[in-house]
Amino acid sequence: MANQNVRVAAAARAASKRAAKARRPISSPTLTVPVESDGPEPKPESKPESKPNAQPNAQPQPKPKSGTPPHFRRPALLTAALATLVLAGLTATTALGLQYRDSTRTTEARTSAAAAARKAAPAILSYDYRHLDTDFATARTHLTPPFLDEYTKTTTTVVAPTARQYQGVVKATIAKPPGADASASVSVVSASPDKAVILLFMNQVTTSTRISGPRVDLNRVRMTLVRTPQGWKVSAVDAL
């Protein structure tokens, strides 16, 4: 009898639970039924979020961009362009200064080299058998290698023996054209600050035992001079 009462009570509880479940409303979470209204649905008011240490009317700060800002790049470009212009100006000024200096030195060279040629030519082209050593020594003071070595060899082996044997005397002077001074017989062929080529018209009067009287020869001589620490010296002589 006791067991029968227990089974009855359990059955009653089970029936009670099934009845309770049947009374619950059925919900459909996946379906939404629109509700008609007379006007737009009011939006809920949103309150501004409060930020710590926020200042009123504060302007937003722009974010820094990567790279060099334009207002920094422009002065750099202007500085580079200005430096280029200054460098170009200095280069041009230096070039003009060098050209002016060379032009001035060339003008001076034309004058001084021509004067040195006028002095050297008579000494180089003259000699007297009675004092050959003195004449040749004087001529060598106007010369520079390699012509100095050539002159010494020629005067020692050829000119001196012949002059002594035939009592040769040669007197050289710069020719003087009719109606003009002697400077007209000296012209500058080319000139640079350290080198000049001079053309001279020379008269040579020769006497010796081999000829019956004085002989006058008109010669053209091209003389090359170079600037040395001792002044302008003759480096070459060519008879034309």
pLDDT tens profile 155-209: 999 999 999 999 999 999 999 877 766 677 899 999 999 999 999 999 999 999 9
Residue 43: the pLDDT is: 52
> With bands split at pLDDT 50, 70 and 90, how would you rate the model's confidence at 9?
low
pTM, to two decimals: 0.58
Statement: residue 84 has pLDDT above 80:
no
Measure the CA–CA gap between 152 and 149, rounded to whole angstroms.
Answer: 5
Task: Select from 212, 209, 210, 223 the least CA-distant residue to 172.
Answer: 223
* Tens-digit pLDDT profile for residues 56-83: 455 555 555 555 555 555 666 767 777 7
Measure the CA–CA gap between 180 and 31, rounded to whole angstroms.
Answer: 133
CB 222 within 8 A of CB 199: yes
* Tens-digit pLDDT profile for residues 146-166: 999 999 999 999 999 999 999
| Phi and psi angles of residue 196, each rounded to the nearest 5 degrees, phi first | -150, 150
> With bands split at pLDDT 50, 70 and 90, how would you rate the model's confidence at 33?
very low
Is pLDDT larger for residue 178 or for residue 98? 178
Q: Within 10 A of 207 (CB to CB), how many other CB atoms are there? A: 18
